[in-house]
């Protein structure tokens, strides 16, 4: 299986602009670029497969350039739902610096900022040198623009296609960058860039575009910062433990797809995990392999060790083994149930609906089924107050082996 065939097997190729690209990927050494706008101070899990794509190609002798759009971030790529909110120059600069630091630390790619060349263009230069080369009929037939024609689109966002095309032309002229990679929603922008290169540099230039399928959840929605529950690549925004849990809870219907797209596990390793999933999905071996691989790649051995330590402590009830930071990570995404401090355990269990009645609460407590912060409690009349806190103002009440409740104590 050659490189291009493996990329197809992993589901990483949606479309290409030329059949010649397959041979170029397998046998050439291409300089290529992937771009993102600094609309947040961290990349998220939706970006991850394209960054790994860059790394896969780099390992086979190609050269990646990461473009963070300090200029295009001011404009906003058109989206189907409507106009984007404008970010201030200060926010964009802070986001750019954060992304630059993150990408350098994780992957070490060559970095460029399109503000460096876009800011030099006057309005007259923009309209004469580039606007003249774009046909409006051509632009409005691009999918991302066409979706907005009924609801309306500003000239600002309409011009985004031209700015991204200028990026491709500039990188070709400056670095001999011959390929752009983007999500499938970037097809129109990529082909516009190729058309601009052809018009400026001649039709004999060999440049390419490649789009990747967007990674989606089981319900068909895409991962992104505009969706609820964003999973960030920054460990301070999404901890290694939270990332581990997110991936470990992947649906069986998606886990093999994620293994192919989000890990460097070999074809043989993934096919073996697929076989095991079909035979015994309940063991969740594929999910465990996915979570361990991604957390380790992003946060190293130390991050994985922390994630596994918290996971095992919550699963086995060994909560006292966790330090304060690990305890904060453990409760961060747990649903909090409020209860009054200073009441009997049996009453607290009723208030929080852990038990339906005092009788049921007493049976569980005296039956050795209740633990507070991993320590068994056998007295229904024990007063639960701030001395019982696990971290901050919460405690973990565990019933049996599978039911844990994060209870937030409040004063009356």
d(CA 268, CA 275): 11
Burial class (CB in 10 A: 0-12, 13-18, 19+), 240: buried
Q: CB neighbours of 170 closer than 8 A, spacing ≥ 6? A: 114, 117
Q: CB neighbours of 345 closer than 8 A, spacing ≥ 6? A: 361, 365, 370, 372, 377, 379, 380, 381, 382, 383, 384
How confident is the model at residue 141, as a pLDDT?
82
The reply to whether 33 sits in an annotated binding site is yes
The reply to whether 164 sits in an annotated binding site is yes
How confident is the model at residue 210, as a pLDDT?
98
The reply to whether 138 sits in an annotated binding site is no
Residue given tokens 């032309």 in the structure block: 169
Complete domains list, the chain, with CATH: 3-212 (3.40.50.620), 240-332 (1.10.240.10), 336-410 (3.10.290.10)
How confident is the model at residue 224, as a pLDDT?
62
The reply to whether 96 sits in an annotated binding site is no
* HSE value, Cβ hemisphere, 13 Å, CA-based, for 78: 28
d(CA 289, CA 40): 29
* Beta-strand pair 370-372/375-376: antiparallel
How confident is the model at residue 225, as a pLDDT?
53
Q: How far apart are the first and last CA of the chain?
A: 67
How confident is the model at residue 226, as a pLDDT?
46
How confident is the model at residue 332, as a pLDDT?
85
Please list the pLDDT of the chain residue by residue as tens digits (412 residues): 899 999 999 999 999 999 999 999 999 999 999 999 999 999 999 899 999 999 999 999 999 999 999 999 988 877 766 677 788 999 999 999 999 999 999 999 999 999 999 999 999 999 999 999 998 888 888 777 877 777 788 888 888 889 999 999 999 999 999 999 999 989 989 999 999 999 999 999 999 999 999 888 877 777 765 445 789 999 999 999 999 999 999 999 999 999 999 999 999 999 999 999 999 988 899 999 999 999 999 999 999 999 999 998 888 878 888 999 999 988 888 889 999 999 999 999 999 999 999 999 999 999 999 999 999 999 999 999 999 999 999 999 999 888 889 999 998 6
Task: Supply the DSSP string of 203-227, one letter for each residue.
Answer: TT---EEEEEPPPB-TTSPBPSTTS
DSSP state of 387: G
d(CA 183, CA 171): 19
* Beta-strand pair 403-410/63-68: unpaired
């Amino acid at each position: 299986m050659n490189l291009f065939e493996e990329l197809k097997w992993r589901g990483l190729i949606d479309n290409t602009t030329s059949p010649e690209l397959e041979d170029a990927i397998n046998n050439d050494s291409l300089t290529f670029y992937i771009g993102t706008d600094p609309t947040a101070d961290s990349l998220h899990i939706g970006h991850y497969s394209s960054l790994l794509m860059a790394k896969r190609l780099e390992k086979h002798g190609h050269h990646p350039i990461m473009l963070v759009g300090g200029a295009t971030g001011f404009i906003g790529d058109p989206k189907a739902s409507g106009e984007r909110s404008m970010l201030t120059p200060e926010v964009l600069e802070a986001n750019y610096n954060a992304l630059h630091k993150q990408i350098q630390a994780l992957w070490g790619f060559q970095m460029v900022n399109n503000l460096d060349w876009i800011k030099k263009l006057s309005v007259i230069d923009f309209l004469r040198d580039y606007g003249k080369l774009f046909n409006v009929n051509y632009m409005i037939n691009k999918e991302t623009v066409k979706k907005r024609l009924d609801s309306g689109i500003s000239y600002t966002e309409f011009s985004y296609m031209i700015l991204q095309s200028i990026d491709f032309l500039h990188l070709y002229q400056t670095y001999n960058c011959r390929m752009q990679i983007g999500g499938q929603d970037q097809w129109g922008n990529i082909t516009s860039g190729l058309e601009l290169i052809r018009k400026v540099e001649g039709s004999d230039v060999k440049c390419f575009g490649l789009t990747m399928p967007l990674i989606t959840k089981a319900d068909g929605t895409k991962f992104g910062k505009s969706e609820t529950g964003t999973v960030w690549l920054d460990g301070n925004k999404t901890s290694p433990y939270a990332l581990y849990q997110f991936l470990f809870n992947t649906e069986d219907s998606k886990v093999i797809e994620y293994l192919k797209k989000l890990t460097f596990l070999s074809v043989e390793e993934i096919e073996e995990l697929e076989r095991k999933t079909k035979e015994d999905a309940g063991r969740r071996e594929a999910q465990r392999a996915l979570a361990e691989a991604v957390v380790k790649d992003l946060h190293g051995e130390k991050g994985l060790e922390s994630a596994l330590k918290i996971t095992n402590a919550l699963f086995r009830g060994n909560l006292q083994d966790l330090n304060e930071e690990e305890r904060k990570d453990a409760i961060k995404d747990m649903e909090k149930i409020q209860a009054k401090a200073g009441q009997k355990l049996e009453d607290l269990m009723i208030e929080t609906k852990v038990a339906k009645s005092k009788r049921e609460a007493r049976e569980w407590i005296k039956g050795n089924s209740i633990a507070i912060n991993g320590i068994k409690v056998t007295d229904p009349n024990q007063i639960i107050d701030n001395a019982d806190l696990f971290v901050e103002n919460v405690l973990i009440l565990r019933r049996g082996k599978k039911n844990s409740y994060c209870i937030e104590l409040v004063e009356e």
